[in-house]
């Protein structure tokens, strides 16, 4: 099996995009990625599109065909991929496997979500479907409350503080203020986060990612095809997908996402790297506690010390490890089906040296981490400027 390259990347701005529909978002991100790759549409052989819930958000199903239609790539095969908030990351993995296996030479991996056309109560209900409907949602549990339970347990077991969680938001908004694609491209202070309205204690409004519209696309290619292009490719050197129980109460721990731990370990082993080899990471900070737990599960922090490490500045831009340089889900936004692809776009730009004011110095290896639901799905990819 051959090496797999990222040869093109593009995305829309994230936000409340009232003047754009789902097809508009797909077409914009797809056109940018194709132009970036400097290829013809005729080169593309398949599409994998991440989308969580267009049926509930805009009443549109049959998304695979819609994507191909929107970007003018019929009649090639186009597959919708759904794994809740990890839909984009899993679409990337399916595209990666399709090229890795030798089935195709050039494949589109995209993600899209249009979330703001319904009331927030409907969004909350729809997102609840990523958890256990029978045991959680039916009994009134929301996703903020699930992560609030994780936060409470982490605070109880390890002494993690609300201020340490707030420091995640401060860091990610600082990065997002440098990202023109971000939904909230502005800084926030620790005091602003701490004084924001309560959502599910101890989580406050500024601990939570927003409701977002947006799309992102990367184009993957075989090494043979990629070497023909003038632009240096970025290589995917590790890819892993793992699952855990859907309901939180069935997990081994409330302070760790086992699927993240296993996917991170598998992807790093495949890539032949350790956490110390990674220069930047885009991780799934749907809530601030989620980033702290991700740092521990991926091996960047010792168990129970993720909050302290964020507070110390260890994960600031151009510190020991640059985390969520895009602004993360918190500042850049979280159009659930597109998030995993946006992470790949950001890492691609960083490794090319094209990230502008948020550029990581001498970035060579990057990681993306995309989670579905409260941790039932995790997808981790490792990217590199070089390949053996």
Residue at a domain's end among 226, 258, 273: 226
Number of domains in the chain: 2
For residue 231, is it within any domain?
no
For position 388, what pLDDT does the model report?
82
206: confidence class by pLDDT, cuts 50, 70, 90: very high
For residue 132, is it within any domain?
yes
For position 322, what pLDDT does the model report?
98
Shared-domain flag, residues 314 and 217: no
Shared-domain flag, residues 221 and 130: no
| The three-state (H, E, C) secondary structure of the chain, written as one string | CCCEEEEEEEECCCECCCCCCHHHHHHHHHHHHHHHHCCCHHHCCEEEEECCCHHHHCCCCCHHHHHHHHCCCCCCCEEEECECECHHHHHHHHHHHHHHCCCCCEEEEEEEECCCCCCHHHHHHHHHCCCCCCCCHHHCCCHHHHHHHHHHHHHHHHCCCHHHHHHHHHHHHHHHCCCCCCCCCCCCCHHHHHHCCEEECCEEHHHECCCCEEEEEEEEEEHHHHCCCCCCCEEEEEEEEEECCCCHHHCCCCCCCHHHHHHHHHHHHHHCCCHHHCCEEECCCCEHHHHHHHHHHCCCCCCCCHHHHHHHCCCCCCCCCEECCCCHHHHCCCCCCCHHHHHHHHHHHHHHCCCHHHCCCCCCEEEEEEEECCCCEEEEEEEECCCC
Active site residues: 85, 334
202: confidence class by pLDDT, cuts 50, 70, 90: very high
For position 137, what pLDDT does the model report?
85
Lowest model confidence (mean pLDDT) among 117-121, 173-177, 253-257? 117-121
Shared-domain flag, residues 160 and 12: no
15: confidence class by pLDDT, cuts 50, 70, 90: very high
* Residue 1 pLDDT exceeds 90: no
For position 105, what pLDDT does the model report?
98
Shared-domain flag, residues 222 and 340: no
Residue at a domain's end among 194, 226, 258: 226
For residue 104, is it within any domain?
yes
Residue 331 and residue 175 in contact, taking contact as beta carbons nearer than 8 Å: yes
For residue 232, is it within any domain?
no
Q: Identify the domain containing residue 302 by its residue range.
A: 125-210+237-384
Average pLDDT value for residue range 102-129: 94
Average pLDDT value for residue range 284-304: 98
For position 318, what pLDDT does the model report?
98
For residue 248, is it within any domain?
yes
Shared-domain flag, residues 256 and 110: no
Q: What is the pTM of this model?
A: 0.97
Shared-domain flag, residues 94 and 193: no
For residue 35, is it within any domain?
yes
For residue 318, is it within any domain?
yes
Mean residue pLDDT across the chain: 97
For position 101, what pLDDT does the model report?
97
Q: How far apart are CA 181 and CA 12, in angstroms?
A: 7
Shared-domain flag, residues 64 and 159: no
* Residue 124 pLDDT exceeds 90: no
For position 138, what pLDDT does the model report?
87
Residue 310 and residue 292 in contact, taking contact as beta carbons nearer than 8 Å: yes
Shared-domain flag, residues 277 and 369: yes
Shared-domain flag, residues 186 and 286: yes
Residue at a domain's end among 183, 199, 226: 226
Average pLDDT value for residue range 66-92: 96
Shared-domain flag, residues 41 and 93: yes
For position 158, what pLDDT does the model report?
98
Q: How far apart are CA 182 and CA 172, in angstroms?
A: 11
| The three-state (H, E, C) secondary structure of 54-78, written as one string | HHHHCCCCCHHHHHHHHCCCCCCCE
For position 261, what pLDDT does the model report?
98
Beta-bridge mates of residue 6:
220, 234
Average pLDDT value for residue range 240-248: 96
| CA-wise closest residue to 343 among 295, 387, 379 | 379
For residue 172, is it within any domain?
yes
User: Burial, 320: exposed, middle or buried (Cβ in 10 Å; 0-12, 13-18, 19+)?
Assistant: middle
What would the pLDDT profile of 130-148 be if each residue is shown by its tens digit?
A: 888 889 888 889 999 999 9
Average pLDDT value for residue range 41-46: 95
- Tell me the percentage of the chain whose pLDDT exceeds 70: 100
- Tell me the percentage of the chain whose pLDDT exceeds 90: 93
* Residue 276 pLDDT exceeds 90: yes
Shared-domain flag, residues 52 and 27: yes
320: confidence class by pLDDT, cuts 50, 70, 90: very high
Shared-domain flag, residues 35 and 152: no
Q: What is the CATH number of the domain that holds 218?
A: 3.40.47.10
Average pLDDT value for residue range 65-79: 95
Residue 22 and residue 55 in contact, taking contact as beta carbons nearer than 8 Å: no
Give the Å distances, CA to CA, from 374 to 82, 219, 265.
15, 29, 19
| CA-wise closest residue to 7 among 217, 168, 191, 206 | 217
């Amino acid at each position: 099996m051959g090496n797999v390259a990222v040869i093109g990347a593009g995305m829309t701005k994230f936000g409340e995009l009232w003047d754009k529909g789902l097809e508009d978002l797909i077409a914009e991100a797809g056109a940018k990625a194709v132009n970036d790759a400097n290829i013809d549409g005729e080169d593309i052989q398949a599409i994998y599109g991440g989308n969580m819930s267009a049926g509930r958000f805009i009443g549109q199903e049959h998304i695979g065909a819609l994507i191909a239609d929107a970007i003018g790539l019929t009649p090639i095969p186009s597959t919708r991929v759904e794994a809740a908030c990890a839909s984009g990351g899993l679409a990337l993995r399916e595209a990666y496997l399709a090229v890795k296996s030798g089935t195709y030479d050039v494949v589109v991996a995209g993600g899209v979500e249009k979330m703001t056309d319904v009331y927030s109560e409907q969004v909350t209900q729809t997102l609840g479907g990523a958890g256990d409907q029978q045991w959680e949602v039916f009994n009134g549990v929301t996703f903020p409350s699930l992560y609030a339970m994780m936060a409470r347990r982490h605070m109880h077991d390890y002494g993690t503080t609300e201020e340490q969680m707030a420091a995640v938001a401060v860091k990610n908004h600082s990065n997002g203020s440098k990202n023109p694609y971000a939904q909230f491209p502005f800084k926030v202070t620790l005091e602003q986060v701490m004084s924001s309205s309560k959502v599910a204690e101890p989580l406050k409004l500024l601990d939570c990612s927003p409701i977002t519209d947006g799309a992102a696309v990367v184009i993957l290619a075989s090494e043979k095809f990629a070497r023909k292009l003038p632009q240096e490719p970025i290589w995917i050197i590790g890819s892993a997908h793992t699952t855990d129980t859907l309901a939180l109460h069935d997990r081994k721990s409330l302070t760790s996402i086992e699927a993240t731990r296993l996917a991170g370990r598998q992807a790093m082993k495949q890539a032949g790297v350790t956490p110390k080899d990674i220069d930047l990471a885009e991780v799934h900070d749907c809530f601030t506690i989620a980033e702290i737990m991700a740092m521990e599960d991926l091996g960047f922090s010792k168990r129970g010390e993720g909050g302290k490490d964020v507070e110390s500045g260890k994960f600031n831009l151009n510190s020991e490890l640059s985390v969520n340089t895009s602004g993360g889900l918190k500042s850049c936004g979280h159009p659930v089906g597109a998030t995993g692809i946006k992470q790949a776009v950001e890492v691609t730009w960083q490794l090319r040296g094209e990230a502008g004011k948020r550029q990581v110095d001498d970035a060579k290896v990057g990681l993306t981490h995309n989670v579905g639901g409260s941790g039932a799905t995790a997808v981790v990819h490792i990217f590199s400027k070089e390949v053996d």
